[in-house]
Amino acid sequence: MTEARASRLPQRIACLSSETVEVLYALGEEARIVGISGYAVTPPRARKEKAKVFAFSSGDLGRILAVAPDLVLSFSDLQADISRDLIKAGVPVHAFNQRNVHGILAMIETVGRLVGVVEPAMALVGELEDIVEQARLAAAKLPRRPRVYFEEWDEPPISGIGWVSELIAIAGGDDIFGDLADRQSASERIIADPLEIVRRAPEIIIGSWCGKRFRAEKVAARPGWQSVPAVVDGQIHEIKSAVVLSPGPVAIREGLPALRRLFDDWAAADKHAGKPVSA
């Protein structure tokens, strides 16, 4: 890379969501980061090393401007207002909106191009693609696919977002609310009648309550849930939101293997393994 080209690349980047922080660290470009979201947890040292300049959907424009960014990386319509205000203030903004595995990989490639490290970015994408392929191959060996209910929030119950539903499928499960997964807003994935979850009879329940400790015993005690197969068989589990609800490398590196382990353990204990599944 020529000195002239390097001088045109962003040197002071503020990341308003966790996944771009993760990517820049993974690419060895963390020195460019001057501010992060308060929700960024991957890698853990980022919280010690970088100034927290924004929450996720709220924050102070002045705190971002105070670190003098020459590029801000934002995410989705939830950060549309702060993106607009930054643009009005003359700050370049790149807004990502990855909602599936393809989008996660494309985001990594784009970050690599933005900071001039295309080859390391493509290497990271290749590593993650290998993880996905290995998960698919392992999932194909399951005697049958479990019906899975993923809960992003409990009151009201909210089903899993797009990339989570896709990861469940890759890992070998069937998301019982896959019909809602392409709806971006959490409000559009609210399950108005919790007994609809009962009717869809999940065999595995996975909780990932963003910002709140998951309580399996509360799930099992919900009125009318005593006959749910996952409750009967004790198949109620947690995957931390920081692992699976951030649409970055961590969802593939850690979230996908976590799903695979749950499904393998379920298959080992499955009373119906080897029996035909009713239509």
The pLDDT tens digits along the chain (279 residues) read: 566 566 789 999 999 999 999 999 999 999 999 999 999 999 999 999 999 999 988 889 999 999 999 999 999 999 999 999 999 999 999 999 999 999 999 999 999 999 999 999 999 999 999 999 999 999 999 999 999 999 999 999 999 999 999 999 999 999 999 999 999 889 999 999 999 999 999 999 999 998 789 999 999 999 999 999 999 999 999 999 999 999 999 999 999 999 999 999 999 997 665 554 443
Fold assignment, 144-269: Rossmann fold (3.40.50)
Report whether 190 contacts 157 (CB < 8 A).
yes
Q: What is the 8-class DSSP label of residue 188?
A: G
The reply to whether 3-97 and 144-269 are identical in fold is: yes
Q: Under CATH, what is the fold of the domain 3-97?
A: Rossmann fold (3.40.50)
Kindly report the backbone phi and psi dihedral angles of residue 192, in degrees, each rounded to the nearest multiple of 5, phi listed first: -60, -35
Nearest Cα residue to 96 out of 248, 261, 219: 248
Q: Compute the distance between CA of residue 100 and CA of residue 166 in angstroms, rounded to an integer.
A: 7
The candidate with the shortest Cα–Cα distance to 108, out of 31, 24, 11, 47, is 24
Hey, what are 36's tokens? 């992060």
Q: Look at residue 271 in the predicted model and tell me its pLDDT.
A: 67
For the chain, the structural domain boundaries read: 3-97, 144-269
DSSP 77: G
Q: Say whether 258 sits in a helix, a strand or coil.
A: helix
Distances (CA, A) of 268 to 24, 29, 225, 261: 39, 43, 24, 11
The residue type of 62 is G
Find, among 238, 277, 273, 259, the residue nearest to 136 by Cα.
259
Q: Determine phi and psi for 216, rounding to 5 degrees.
A: -60, -35
Cα separation, 222 vs 164, in Å, equals 24
pLDDT at 217: 96
Cis upstream peptide for 43 (omega within 30°): yes
Nearest to 16 by CA among 160, 61, 128, 45: 61
Q: Find residue 147's DSSP bridge partners.
A: 174
The pLDDT value given to residue 8:
87
